[in-house]
Amino acid sequence: MGTTNGVPMIKDIRTTGPRDLRAILSGKHILVVEDDPVVAVDYRIQLQAIGITQTLQPTIRRALAYLADHDGDAAIVDNQLPDGNCERVVAELIRRRIPFIVVSGDTFGMRETGGAPVLTKPVRPDEVRDNLAAVIAAA
């Protein structure tokens, strides 16, 4: 499988079948750092459909507090939240070696992602799923 910065190339993940993706993702617990309730509900529906549980944290402060006491299998991070950009959350995920993807309408000011995929909203559910599977598989 080819890699980019240690992350499997998405085309490789897409060639796996639905059962393979489910095997990679099912039973995982994902931290979702997202302030838009519509997007958060969409993630919940899409992730539950493939066997993923999640914890939603709508602010940087709450995401960092959650990470102080919890591990997760991966994270989905929106860069811009009401209390600033997610640079500190991303740094903590990198420090703790928790795989993540960034899904944001505004990536301005993002300096370090540790090679994590950065998707610009709007995104299709399969893009989120495939990129999430890629970072989990690479971890």
Residue 128, domain CATH: 3.40.50.2300
Q: How many domains does the chain have?
A: 1
- Alpha-carbon span 69 to 83, nearest angstrom: 21
Q: Which residues on neighbouring strands pair with residue 53, listed in sequence order?
A: 29
Q: What is the pLDDT of residue 21?
A: 79
Q: How far apart, in Å, do the first and last CA atoms of the chain sit?
A: 14
Q: What is the pLDDT of residues 15-38, one digit of tens each?
A: 455 557 778 899 999 999 999 999
Residue 65 in tokens: 């507090």
Q: What is the pLDDT of residue 17?
A: 55
- Alpha-carbon span 78 to 92, nearest angstrom: 15
How big is the CA angle at 28 (ends 87 and 133), to the nearest 5 degrees? 70
Helix (H, G, I), strand (E, B) or coil at 124: coil
Of 36-40, 77-81, 102-106, 112-116, the poorest mean pLDDT is in 112-116
Maximum pairwise Cα distance, the chain: 39
- Nearest Cα neighbor of 103 from 70, 82, 125 is 125
Helix axes 37-49, 125-138, angle to 10 degrees: 60
Q: Identify the domain containing residue 58 by its residue range.
A: 3-138
- Nearest Cα neighbor of 50 from 125, 135, 137 is 125
